[in-house]
Structure 1
Amino acid sequence: MLLLISSSSEGQNLLRAKGASIVDGQGKEVILKGVGLGGWLLQESYMLGTDTLNAQGRIKRAMRRTMSASEVEEFYQQYRDGFITKADIDFIAAQGFNCVRLPMHYDLFLTAAQRRVREQALDQASAVPAYVAALAKWYDADQLFTNPKELDGFRYIDNLLAWCKANKLYVILDLHAVPGGQGADRNINDGIVPLDLWKRRDAKKRLIYQDVTVRLWQKLAVRYRNEPWVAMYDVINEPHGMDAAHDMAGDNSEAQTLYSRLITAIRAQGDKHLIMLEGNGYGNEYTNLTPDKLPIKDKTNLVYNAHRYWCTNDPTVGDANPNQINLIHNLVAFRERWQVPVWVGETGENSNEWLTAAAQALNEQHIGWCHWNVKRVAGTTSLLNIKPYGSILTSEGRDNLLRNIQFRNCEPNRDVLDALMRQPGTTATKAYTSLTLPGTIAATHYDMGRAGTAYQDSVYQKTDYRRPDRWNLGGASRNDGVDVGLAHDGDNTALAVQHMTGGEWLQYTVNIKKAGRYMMQARVANEGATPAELQLRVANKPIATLAVPPTTNAGTWTTLTTMTAALPVGQHTLRVYVVEPGARLGWLQFNLVAASAQGG
């Protein structure tokens, strides 16, 4: 169903740039904190769990080996209609975010017939010239993007805007897969020939993919130029590989030319929306793209982007290149030097500690950010986790996927949400779930909070993309440095804390209903050659020690039993300290054996 944009939006004030800030119609600063809707209108293999297929086009090609083209198209229609719905947007708004970034594939703005010609080129490299010729023909005949009511891309934008307006959420339109491909990474841009956006010429010697890109943004501007809930246009996502090694100038001159064309074309439609630029090198490097270098008349309402992954959050650390702005020091300096707003269009895919530190540092500098991503298969860093579904190349797997992507079947990652929205600016911890004694505590139910307050782990974030360090060696459930993984305990498979090294600890907020001494049982394993040792403390007082003998291998578990010291009634913190490394911990069970006279 097409939800049309209300004409009542006309005349309302758009967000705009005022010096280095983004402000609303009343001049009030707006800090955009949002979530990316990646995986919806463009499938990326790593988020879908199909890494060997590498890109959406290759996924489709593999599916067409056993399915007709119409069957593949029907599957994708169902997938897109179910991946993001009003329920997802309601959920995002309820968490306190105020915007979403919509990554779009340009092929959704083609007609079904035009899309089939493109997919022939995806299947056969020899068909690329025919597709380029067809694009040029459609371009010259004004047959591209001409009927919004019949094009999927406009339908999805309009539906999203209706849901977002109801929740007072802004939308950032992001052309994620650009005609021709803006880089060499097919997973991002679903290109046919790498970097063709910058190189491919048609029979008339035109850079035809660039012409088509400009035409698409012209059509988008005409349709949404008066829509105040569109925050800005992200005209090209993550250009990269524009260097001498790929037979390009290496000074961003190609991007300078195209960005200037795009800005001029959008403004020519009477559109005053914020326009965001993304630098070379996955959105961060702006040599020859600073405002003084852009050969355009209207330089108002520009925003500069950074994508921040696997880098330090220390605001005192800078890059020697002032135009490389993924580090916070450079991001702030660039904003102040050029008096333009900056926005972190993507950040995430790191531990909760890193997410919190990044959000806190950016919040303190009044820099907005957008978490990547809303949902992914077996996702611990996303807001929502999609359960594994099997293989997209089988009918059973596709049926599972269509069911699992629906909001009601996704699992919220409460720890990620807490790290992004509650933890910045505080050292307070929060119980992951209600825990009472007498009772059983799952080892993985430690408190939510920052490293050093809710837990301590030897490696709890990644701050250098060049290093292979993993902050979680288990990769299951929680997104902290605590190494949570699946444990095979006899015939049972459950989550357990593993790779416990000396000096690490876990904290649990517990409500002790009855004071006294408890019989404690612990489900443990130790695949090392020497005994491990755990010490338990309540209110920082030792209450029990567990010596965990070697248990041969990872599949051998045992239950140890010991008596605790007297425990006080009330809410307290229970900490499990690793004195000697090697233990694996599944759960702790406490049963009262000797009540004390303490009330409660």
Structure 2
Amino acid sequence: MKKLDSQRRRYPLRPTLYYCFLWLILLLPIPGKTQSLTMLRAEGGKTVDANGKEIVLRGFNVGGWLLQESYILKTDTLDSQARIRAGLLRTMPEKELEDFYAQYRAKFVTKADIDFVAAQGFNCVRLPFHYDLFLTREQRRARNLASRSPRNVAAYVQTLSQWYDQNQLFTDAKNLDGFRLIDDVLSWCAANKMYVILDLHAAPGGQGFDRNINDNFVPLDLWKRKDAKGRLIYQDITVRLWEKLAARYQKDPRVAMYDFINEPHKVNADNGLSNDNAEINVLYSRLINAVRGQGDKHLLLLEGNGYGNEYTNLTPDKLQIQDRSNLVYNAHRYWCPNDPAAADSNPNQINLLANLAAFRTKWQVPVWVGETGENSNEWFAGAVQGLNNQGIGWCHWNLKRVEGVTSLLRVRHYGSILTPEGRAALLRNVEFKQCIPNRDVIAALTGPATARTPFAPLSIPGTIHATDYDMGRNGIAYHDSYAERIDYRKEAPTNNGSVYRNDGIDIQMNTDKPSNGFAVGDMAAGEWINYTVTVAKAGAYTLQARVKNDSATPARLLVKLDDAPIGSLTVNQTQAAAPWVTVAVPMATLPAGRHTLTLYVEQPGASLSWLQFNSTTPTTQGGQ
């Protein structure tokens, strides 16, 4: 997964009642999941099961678990798992380090997490893992030493070469963490009739520059590093690892695909390699031949250069293989248009929808989006709609993220991983029962494109928090001028505060009391927000609003009920010492029943914490 600069905040827990309801859902049988899993295969551009039925894989990545990516844990300055481990080793012995990681792996993803994913209707899990999980604890000690200083890398490579020659790598399947953890996930997923994609996310040596992704010591060492015998030893080790995986899982129908290497990137002439993916071709050809040589017929997922998307010299006709069956081509879709007509001039660059479909048609191979996400709900909904319309499967990134609004589950802030208190809090907070479901993300990924549903039950009389607007797409639940990121070069967040919700609506932290801790701000003229409300009893109500305005120009907000204006709020500049004021406005009689309340921005400048509807009716407008 490509690293993002993360600026997140703290979040309150959802009400206990919600969790009770959630657990009830998990205990219910899952519709449409009664048939047993069978081996998948490619049939032209489709993926089908043993009965010839098309299976479109839609699911979630469980990144940050078997390979820690710093931004997922909000340890960005440490930049990679190896640097996190090196930091921890400055304050603890290796046994304590290994014990901590054993606890982390036991808690971050469990059967409860997989059950929850299944309950949302997804049918697969992509499992990103680090090759070091297939080393023994003693072998990982050598890798830890290499992480402490570049001077130790050469010695580590020679040690790996010796283990390789002496057949001491990946041999103790019963006791190696990697095999045990894969077996756990396969069991959990099979209980929910879900497939698993095995993803070598951090390959030996590192497949690119970004060590957050591949945890490398030296960039591109997978493609360049030779041992004392002149061998590309990291590639030899990668082939052996997949041989061991194939030997163990070759007849296992729970495994949908082998994803050989995640996101090769910057494998080009600028970095002393070829400009036509020649090195990637050689390794992929070796891997395919090695797996097929064992009689393994699993689907094999190939990832192109440039973070998994570019396939020059990697098309089926170019690979140096005898068996071209059951190949699947991958795309990772981030920060790009969802317009089905948008196309890249390079037909081998396939992250755009048109190129994906055209590549599938030309080469008669299935295509699959192994990663997509890290955007707004508006973008998610558009991406899902576009991919579903083409019959292309996808896997959202990611299941969990500390203070993350784009993930399926949100992990609360825990402090620093480098302190005992922080580690204890992290181990507690990553547990499923402590995580907060991002219901708006789930709705964007699973709901109809035109759906608008309440985010929270809202009643009149009562208080309506500005951030509890309806769930749905831009133009349906709300209108915001910048609601999705479709250019990877434009890094401005779609939600300026990047907290609480994941829409185009700009939300900031709010310490004003009383509030829910958040407020809507940066409202441009012409923007609007919808709320589904229930008016308990017809009658006259007073509208009060908790607002502020940092500018000298008055702001004006119009409140409508079912498109009929019911009140207008003028917000003059407020004082820095006490920025929030309560403004009251008399209104006409409101009818009973279920209605759409709309907040419309006539003049920009205001921030809104809440609206409150009371039965008394003041005759003047003022502030306090």
Name the residue aligned to 1:329: 354
Retained in 2: the 8 A contact 1:439–1:590?
yes
Retained in 2: the 8 A contact 1:527–1:554?
no
Name the residue aligned to 1:411: 436
Q: CA 1:397–1:243 in 2, change beyond 3 Å: closer, same or farther?
A: same
Asked if 1:96 corresponds to 2:121, the answer is yes
Name the residue aligned to 1:429: 452
Name the residue aligned to 1:276: 301
Name the residue aligned to 2:472: 449
Name the residue aligned to 2:83: 58
Name the residue aligned to 1:5: none
Residue 469 of structure 1, CA deviation: 2.7
Name the residue aligned to 1:267: 292
300, 313, 319: which one pairs with 1:294?
319
Q: Tell me how far apart the structure 1 counterparts of residues 559 and 539 of structure 2 sit (CA, whole Å).
A: 16
Asked if 1:503 corresponds to 2:508, the answer is no
- Write the mapping of 1:199-278 to structure 2, written as runs, cut at 5 A: 199-278=224-303
Retained in 2: the 8 A contact 1:526–1:553?
no
| Residue segments in structure 2 that go unaligned for 5+ positions in a row | 1-35, 618-624
Name the residue aligned to 2:69: 44
537, 559, 562: which one pairs with 1:514?
537
Q: Tell me how far apart the structure 1 counterparts of residues 166 and 327 of structure 2 sit (CA, whole Å).
A: 32
Aligned length: 582
Report the identity percentage. 61
Name the residue aligned to 1:8: none
Helix, strand or coil at the partner of 1:82: helix
Residue 66 of structure 1, CA deviation: 1.3
Q: Tell me how far apart the structure 2 counterparts of residues 407 and 489 of structure 1 sit (CA, whole Å).
A: 31
- 4+ runs deviating over 4 angstroms: 490-493
343, 363, 369: which one pairs with 1:318?
343
Q: Tell me how far apart the structure 2 counterparts of residues 506 and 481 of structure 1 sit (CA, whole Å).
A: 11
Residue 13 of structure 1, CA deviation: 3.9
Name the residue aligned to 1:362: 387
Q: CA 1:12–1:516 in 2, change beyond 3 Å: closer, same or farther?
A: closer
Between stretches 144-153 and 127-136, larger displacement belongs to 127-136
Name the residue aligned to 1:7: none
| Paired letter, 1:42 | L
Helix, strand or coil at the partner of 1:149: coil
Name the residue aligned to 2:99: 74
Residue 67 of structure 1, CA deviation: 1.3
125, 142, 150: which one pairs with 2:167?
142
Q: Tell me how far apart the structure 1 counterparts of residues 490 and 463 of structure 2 sit (CA, whole Å).
A: 39
Between stretches 349-358 and 553-562, larger displacement belongs to 553-562
Q: CA 1:448–1:247 in 2, change beyond 3 Å: closer, same or farther?
A: same
| Residue segments in structure 1 that go unaligned for 5+ positions in a row | 1-10, 595-600
Q: Deviations over 1:477-503 (max 9, x none)?
A: 000000111013269781110111101
Retained in 2: the 8 A contact 1:12–1:226?
no
Retained in 2: the 8 A contact 1:519–1:564?
yes
Helix, strand or coil at the partner of 1:57: helix
Q: Deviations over 1:111-162 (max 9, x none)?
A: 1111111111111211111111111111111111111111000010001111
Helix, strand or coil at the partner of 1:577: strand
Helix, strand or coil at the partner of 1:533: strand
Q: Tell me how far apart the structure 2 counterparts of residues 156 and 502 of structure 1 sit (CA, whole Å).
A: 52
Q: Tell me how far apart the structure 1 counterparts of residues 445 and 199 of structure 2 sit (CA, whole Å).
A: 22
Q: Tell me how far apart the structure 1 counterparts of residues 381 and 576 of structure 2 sit (CA, whole Å).
A: 36
568, 577, 583: which one pairs with 2:600?
577
Residue 110 of structure 1, CA deviation: 0.5
Q: Deviations over 1:288-320 (max 9, x none)?
A: 000010110000000000000000000101001
Q: Tell me how far apart the structure 1 counterparts of residues 578 and 269 of structure 2 sit (CA, whole Å).
A: 53
Structure-2-length-normalised TM-score: 0.92
Q: Tell me how far apart the structure 2 counterparts of residues 500 and 55 of structure 1 sit (CA, whole Å).
A: 37
Retained in 2: the 8 A contact 1:513–1:569?
yes
Retained in 1: the 8 A contact 2:38–2:254?
no
| Paired letter, 1:461 | E
| Paired letter, 2:536 | K
Residue 553 of structure 1, CA deviation: 3.2
Retained in 2: the 8 A contact 1:389–1:397?
yes
- Write the mapping of 1:157-172 to structure 2, written as runs, cut at 5 A: 157-172=182-197
RMSD over aligned CA atoms reads: 1.3
| Paired letter, 1:523 | R
Helix, strand or coil at the partner of 1:509: strand
Q: Tell me how far apart the structure 1 counterparts of residues 571 and 369 of structure 2 sit (CA, whole Å).
A: 46
Structure-1-length-normalised TM-score: 0.96
Residue 468 of structure 1, CA deviation: 2.9
Retained in 1: the 8 A contact 2:515–2:610?
no
Q: Tell me how far apart the structure 1 counterparts of residues 503 and 98 of structure 2 sit (CA, whole Å).
A: 39
Q: Tell me how far apart the structure 1 counterparts of residues 394 and 578 of structure 2 sit (CA, whole Å).
A: 43
Retained in 2: the 8 A contact 1:525–1:554?
no
Asked if 1:549 corresponds to 2:572, the answer is yes
| Paired letter, 1:278 | E
Q: Deviations over 1:218-237 (max 9, x none)?
A: 00001001110100000000
